[in-house]
Homo-oligomer: A and B are copies of this chain.
Amino acid sequence: FSSLYSQIELNITQICLAKECSEDEIVEELLRLNEDPKVHGIYLHLPPASLTSRVLNTLKPEKDIDGISDLNMGRLVRGDLSKVFVPPRASAVLDLLEKHGEFLEKRNWISLYLISWAEDMDVPPTWFRPGAVVIRCEPTLATGIVEYIMINVVHSYSRWLQEQQYQPWHLRTLKLQPLMPVPSDIEISRAQKPKPVDQLAEQIGLLPEELEAYGRSKAKVQLSLLNRLHAQPDGKYVLVAGITPTPLGEGKSTVTIGLVQALSAHLKLNSFACLRQPSQGPTFGVKGGAAGGGYAQVIPMEEFNLHLTGDIHAITAANNLVAAAIDARILHESTQSDKALFSRLVPSVSGVRKFSPIQISRLRRLGINKTEPASLTPQEVHTFVRLDLDPSKITWQRVVDTNDRFLRKITVGQASTEKGLIRETGFDIAVASEIMAILALADSLEDMKNRLARMVVGTSRSGQPVTAEDLGVSGALAVLMKDAIKPTLMQTLEGTPVFVHAGPFANIAHGNSSVLADKLALKLVGRDGFVVTEAGFGADIGMEKFFNIKCRASGLRPNVVVLVATVRALKMHGGGPNVSAGTPLPKEYIDENVDLVAGGCYSNLRKQIQIAHLFGMPVVVALNVFRTDTQAEIDLVCQIAKECGASDAVPCYHWAQGGRGSIELAQAVNEAANTPSNFQFLYHLEMPIVEKIRVIAQKVYGAEDIELSPEAKAKIDYYNQQGYGSLPICMAKTHLSLSHMPDKKGAPTGFVLPIRDVRASIGAGFIYPLVGTMSTMPGLPTRPCFYDIDLDPVTEEITGLF
């Protein structure tokens, strides 16, 4: 019998209550233990008088080791247990263990909590078998009782196991009663009271211990979920991309949100939207928030658009710690001898010098396999202490999450304390930090930590890359980012779940939300559910990077592409006049004009569908309908889209109607997801960098060829030499045209794509060629959004956010 337990180690933590413990105190202790996920069972060893019904009722049945609460035994004296119960046959235990054998192998311990009133209980433990099961118990407990307890442990264990399994959803959606005319976004958001986030979490099968609430309406979800549900099959994976947009944006986020509202609230199919966290820059600048719009929004939208759970702030702090470390290191190296540097970097603590783990890692990369500081030769000390960063080759920029154009190009180090070590540098918007790209691509805490350590911040005077780990800062970065790696759970206006996680810039980085949010969501929705994720910019940029970079990093394979189009953008591609922010729309965009629409469909829309087909993906075109669109225009788009190879094409009315307005889209997506897709990457990683760039330029953008500047060529040679040649490519190109020329609409051909320069994000893991000049720091207009944003100090209501 005892050998059955050879797999299990039973940890019993014993707390002795003082004899005068009050009922209140016992109850409080039990409440704490009930909620402690590390305690699998509680055995109450208390004087009979303390076993009140309140105490017994407090004990969670699933943690009740000897079934005392199940059986309503009341004030039974524990010593008599053996007289009351006939211990179940050992074969029952055998059955249970066999059933859960696989699990037991993976998690070979059970933790029991023994609450004892005997303060001096220090009898020697009873060992069933050394190293196997340990039960620490009183000698007065007969073997029968111990056996009985063991069986209950296994029962309790199997109940716990059950709890760990995938739970079917029992989602209660929120009812929407859309008004006409559609009120402002913040008014709509405020009018809908979100479910408490712990209720939402419970409805979609999250365990309480997997949730970390941040206030009432948002919570971080722990990555341990991936372990718990590792055997659960993934749901369907849907990517929302768009045609080449006007500068006003064509509503990919609202389509994404409308689609999950339709799937979950109307078709009763589990679904999750995975969205990017927006930068505060645009929220206070020109664009406004990014929580969707109209009746397709994430709520509360002000929480979504402001600090959320602090991830971008954590990125800013981490990014700027690297920057401070770079300049401070240059200063200290410039003023100290090798010996002084070494004695400060490896200080003597109580007479002993020791390398830190980060330093040992650097030594190894330098080929110095020593761990004893005193054993380094002077040359090795020199190599170790001097990063010898070339100030003109520092690629690391500082960041703020503010549209602060005056920080685009600055000179730092002008105080006399910096001893003349001035240099030119600049700030990017925080979401352009490589750390944001890493957050979006990492698939575990460990992976994130390794990527952070690998980040290259510049080059030494001898041409060697210098990393965050060389600066000694990589551990601190991981510490700063330890909470940011957990996706944030929120909900749509109809109470369906949303993950908000990461928001890398879509030009110099890959513009897609996080791998981890998608992975968690794919487990949660279940086999027949849907995860809808969005790629930034047009499909030529965001979707291409989604496939070639994000899917490569995650190993996930999508099932359907939803391609968002608007009559407005199609008219522009069909030859309509210029569209720009802040000026009224020309009348071509307000009156019916089927010719312009057709022109746009046969050029840009067709080309974007073809791009998706390059990757073997079925495409559903979602026409985001505006008030001014006519039925003839709508019908025409849907007809031509299908002609051009779309599996389906449907109009969507989510902005005015919520999920109800996107039911047709949801049905089309459901259908397309059930047809087999044939996903393939566009290029092999082993292809030379230049070839990878050429394939994207020709096949995706429609270019005739590419043309590399001398800088670009030199950089490619350098990256090849450093061993970065097999990284994927992340093109930094305008989103306003398929080409590099923002004013070339439709589907331009015959152009040569100029590659001005090539850069690398080694931690994130991609090479990014620059096509033209990319601004990584937006500016504020004359009247930024913030003019209208206000807070009522009495009601605490926010106005002016959109």
Contact = CB atoms under 8 A, between A and B. Distances in A.
A86 to B, nearest CB: 33
Interface in A443-483: 444-446, 448-449, 472-473, 475-476, 478-480, 482-483
B418 A787 contact: no
A790 interface: yes
Contact of A418 (B398, B408, B478): B408
B32 A449 contact: no
Nearest to A333: B782
Contact of A284 (B336, B345, B448, B476): B476
A793 interface: yes
A268 interface: no
Given A323-B404, A341-B782, A475 B414 contact: no
A756 interface: no
A357 B790 contact: yes
B408 A321 contact: no
A307 B782 CA distance: 33
A307 B199 CA distance: 26
A79 interface: no
A789 B407 CA distance: 30
A794 interface: yes
Contacts of A449: 791, 793
Contact of A310 (B310, B472, B784): B310
A320 B400 contact: yes
A354 to B, nearest CB: 10
Interface in A85-140: none
Interface string A308-343: 001001101100110111011001100010000100
Nearest to A474: B790
Contacts of A415: 405, 408-409, 426
A212 interface: yes
A177 interface: no
A787 B470 CA distance: 10
Interface in A396-453: 398, 400-415, 417-418, 421, 424, 426, 444-446, 448-449
Nearest to A584: B348
A402 B480 CA distance: 12
A317 B32 contact: no
A280 interface: yes
Interface string A480-494: 101100000000000
A788 B356 contact: yes
A705 interface: no
B476 A789 contact: yes
Contact of A402 (B35, B317, B784, B787): B317
A555 interface: no
Contact of A417 (B331, B779, B789): B779
Copies in the complex: 2
A79 to B, nearest CB: 29
A170 B24 contact: yes
Chain A, interface residues (CB within 8 Å), range: 35 or more
Interface stretch (A213-221, A563-571, A678-686): A213-221
A76 interface: no
A796 interface: yes
A647 B650 CA distance: 82
Contacts of A170: 24
A20 to B, nearest CB: 14
A344 interface: yes
A367 interface: no
Nearest to A430: B317
B325 A358 contact: no
Interface string A765-802: 00000000000000111111011111101101011110
A25 interface: yes
A748 interface: no
A644 interface: no
A347 interface: yes
A78 interface: no
A131 to B, nearest CB: 23
A544 interface: no
A302 interface: yes
A470 to B, nearest CB: 12
A691 interface: no
A571 to B, nearest CB: 22
Contacts of A800: 475
A205 interface: no
A444 B793 contact: yes
A668 to B, nearest CB: 29
A196 interface: yes
A402 B321 contact: yes
A786 B325 contact: yes
Nearest to A416: B409
Contact of A472 (B307, B783, B796): B783
A332 B475 contact: no
25 contacts: A213-B215, A306-B480, A316-B316, A316-B400, A317-B402, A324-B403, A324-B404, A327-B404, A331-B405, A345-B782, A359-B787, A398-B407, A406-B412, A410-B410, A410-B414, A414-B424, A446-B794, A449-B791, A472-B784, A472-B786, A475-B791, A476-B786, A476-B789, A476-B790, A482-B796
Given A398-B404, A446-B793, 17 more contacts: A31-B199, A212-B216, A213-B215, A284-B321, A316-B316, A317-B401, A321-B402, A325-B786, A327-B404, A328-B780, A331-B405, A332-B781, A409-B418, A410-B414, A411-B414, A475-B790, A482-B791
